[in-house]
Amino acid sequence: MTKPVFIDTHCHFDFSPFSGDEAGSIARANEAGVQRIIVPAVEADRFAGVLALSERYPALYAALGMHPIAIRRHDDDGLALLEHCLRSPRGKLVALGEIGLDDYIDEPLMTRQVALLEDQLHLAKRYDLPVILHSRRTHDRLAALLRRVDLPRTGVVHGFAGSYQQAEAFIKRGYYIGVGGTITYARATKTRGVMARLPLEWLLLETDAPDMPLSGFQGQPNRPERVRETFRVLCELRDEPPERIAEIIYRNTLALFGLARSNA
């Protein structure tokens, strides 16, 4: 079997333990076949740092967005800065994210979350970018909002742990489903069953590092090289040959984010 090539479509590389060890962390990921990493920002004050990382390191690509978990810290100035960054020469900016809805946090201020998400979705449409979507306990509400806004470039619902029917609703709108470390836990029977059944053509791989540690690594920061372990488990759950799973997911990622196939 040819060594598979991976793209981690969701890694917060601007946080510890990667900050200060960027070159070493990229080298570790590359040894595991992870050739590229998409780094989504979560707040306006992190936009410049994420963009700088993407310009400094060939393996890194940037996404800019305002995460719902920080809803109390977001304001109109942050939204204006986001548009300014999108309007400026973009370099390796490949998506708008991480954005979305979260009804799991204390005092979610859902009206504000929805308004902010709508504003960011309209920016994605204006600047022709795909979106990286966060959703906890909000899948149905998010799907309804995406129907209203109707993005031409769509995006990915990252770290998906909903039902098969909810995943189908996103796929019908043209949205990919992010496969993360949740499937490495034997007790995650619902999510494992969903990822076993969904069409391969709508799946992407991700870590959400340093969050969402895999089974066997509890208590440790997650890392982009562990995409390989998530891939191994996904292969156990599905019927297709590993070579096909790796190739189709790689192709999906290139298509969504407008990336060129690597010759490495």
Q: Is 84 annotated as a binding residue?
A: no
Distance, CA of 101 to CA of 110 (rounded, Å): 8
Q: Which residues of 149-170 are buried (b: 16+ CB within 10 A; e: fewer)?
A: eebebbbbbbbbbbeeebbbbb
Q: How far apart are CA 23 and CA 264, in angstroms?
A: 18
Model pTM? Answer: 0.97
Domain count, the chain: 1
The answer to whether 8 is a known ligand-binding residue is no
Q: Is residue 155 part of a domain?
A: yes
Q: In this structure, what CATH number is given to the domain that contains residue 45? A: 3.20.20.140
Per-residue model confidence (pLDDT) at position 74: 95
Q: How far is CA 143 from CA 3, 7, 117, 138, 231, in A?
A: 36, 26, 12, 9, 27
pLDDT digits (tens, 9 = 90+) for 144-172: 999 999 999 999 999 999 999 999 999 99
Question: Is residue 15 in a domain?
Answer: yes
Any known ligand binding at 134?
Answer: yes
List b or e across 220-240, with b for residues whose CB sees 16 or more CB atoms inside 10 angstroms. eebbbbbbbbbbebbbebbee
Residue at 141 is within a domain = yes
Q: Is residue 61 part of a domain?
A: yes
Mind listing the pLDDT tens digit for each residue in 97-119? Answer: 999 999 998 899 999 999 999 99
122 has binding-site annotation: no
Would residue 1 count as lying in a domain? Answer: no
In this predicted structure, the answer to whether residue 89 has a pLDDT above a threshold of 80 is: no
Domain interval for residue 18: 6-257
Is 75 assigned to a binding site?
Answer: no
Q: What DSSP designation does 89 have?
A: -
Q: Is 247 annotated as a binding residue?
A: no
